[in-house]
Chain A
C-alpha cells in the first residue's frame, strides 16, 4: 500500500532533549512538508522540501531542523531551542507539478515534553 508513515505515534521527552520525528513516503512524491498543530488551531508550516538535498523554512522554523537525503524520507528534529514543543506534528507530501495538487498527510506524531 502506498502512503505516508510517521513514527512514533506518541513521544514523550524531557525538557532540554532533542528529539527526531520520522516521516517516510512511498508515493514517489517530490515535495514533503512538516506542520505543527496546536489545540483549536490550524496547521502551521515548519519546513518543506521540493527536491532531495534542498529544503526551505516555513512560518515557524525556529527551534527545528530537517534533512532530505532521500526522496522517501524527511525527518524533523525538535531541538531544545524550541520553546514550546508539545504539539501534534504532521508530515505531508505532494507530487510536483501545478498548484492544484492535494497534500497527503501521515497519521501524525503527538509529542509531549515533560
Chain B
C-alpha cells in the first residue's frame, strides 16, 4: 500500500459546484498534514495546513480524521481559477528532517 493515496481524477465540475477530495495515509504516526495546489507546469504552492480540529479558509475547508487515517479538502462555489492539481502532503511523526510525503495529486477542472 502506498504511503499517501489520492483519487487521481480528473474531477470535472461546473462553476459554482461543491467538490470534495479525500486523501488516505498509511502511517498512523503521521504528525502534520497539508494541502498544496499545483497549476499545470508550475511549482506546488501551499493551499492550507490541516489541523486536528479542522480549519476553514474562505471557500476551502480541510478536515482530518485520524481514526480512519484520511484528510479531506472541500471547495465550495468552485471558480474557474480553482482548476489545478491538489496534492495531499503528510509528515510522519518519527521522520527527522520534515520529509514530506506527497500524494500523486487529484486533478480538478472547473468548467464554465
Residues of A at the B interface (CB closer than 8 Å) are 31, 33, 35, 40-45, 48, 50, 56, 58, 88, 90, 94, 99-108, 110
Cβ contact within 8 Å between A102 and B49: yes
Cβ contact within 8 Å between B99 and A58: yes
Instruction: Using CB atoms, name the residue of chain B closest to A107.
Output: B43
Cβ contact within 8 Å between B97 and A43: no
Cβ contact within 8 Å between A42 and B43: no
> Does B87 sit at the interface, judged by CB under 8 A?
yes
Q: Kindly supply a per-residue 1/0 record for chain B positions 85-112, scoring 1 wherever the CB is within 8 Å of any chain A CB and 0 otherwise.
A: 0010001010001111011110000000
Q: Which residues on the B side are within 8 Å of A58 (C-beta)?
A: 99
Q: Which of A48, A58, A99, A105 has the most CB of B within 10 A?
A: A99
> Does B1 sit at the interface, judged by CB under 8 A?
no
Find B43's partner among A44, A56, A99, A108 (CB 8 Å cutoff).
A108
